[in-house]
Amino acid sequence: MEELRQRILKDGMAKKEGNIIRVSSFLNHQLDPELMMHCAQEFARLFANQGINKIVTIEASGIAPAILLGYIMHLPVVFVKKSIPKTVDKSWESWVWSFTRGDQKTVCIDREFLTDKDRILFIDDFLADGHASGSIIHLCRQSGAQIVGMGFLVEKGFAKGGQFLRKHGIPYHALATIKQINDDNTMEVE
């Protein structure tokens, strides 16, 4: 998606050391609602007519595009929580490693909202090594839900996430792919 690629090149920052991509001014910390709506519209186009009945995301940066996509597609949006709330009696549980925070968290989804009748589309901000995606695969296996596809705003093409999803037979789309971070901390984005 050209608009997102241009925004990454204009306002994103990269650090080769640690493979850090910072898009806080429009995607992670501060949101550009118009850009998020355009991303959601593109996901709606890419995943149209696939029998999806629910959109799933994981806290927190995937929430904005997932909600907008749910609005466009007239589908409910379910958040995978990064802690088990007291309000949930029975949940499917997994864990996820956070690249950003450098820690592992237990994640859960209420069993009421992920069942064997669900055909889900998972939406997230980044695809790096596939840790969040792996958690979703694990939660869906527990519940019997079918993953129809996964959508990511940005893929780190130099990381292992795409390979991980292909190995598991999960169709996915990334709206922008960072092919590499150069030694001078510039990015190659497609």
Tens of pLDDT along 130-157?
999 999 999 999 999 999 999 999 999 9
CATH of the domain at 151: 3.40.50.2020
Supply the range of the domain harboring residue 104: 2-189
Residue 99: per-residue pLDDT: 67
Tens of pLDDT along 41-100?
999 999 999 999 999 999 888 999 999 999 999 999 999 998 888 888 899 999 888 766
Task: Give the separation between CA 178 and CA 184, rounded to whole angstroms.
Answer: 15
Please check the confidence at residue 175 and state whether its pLDDT lies above 90.
Answer: yes
Tokens found for residue 122: 């998972």
pLDDT above 90 as % of the chain = 83
Tokens found for residue 124: 């997230």
Q: Count of domains in the chain? A: 1
Task: Give the separation between CA 55 and CA 123, rounded to whole angstroms.
Answer: 7
Tens of pLDDT along 100-125?
677 888 999 999 999 999 999 999 99
The b/e string for 60-70 (b: 16+ C-beta within 10 A; e otherwise) is ebbbbbbbbbb
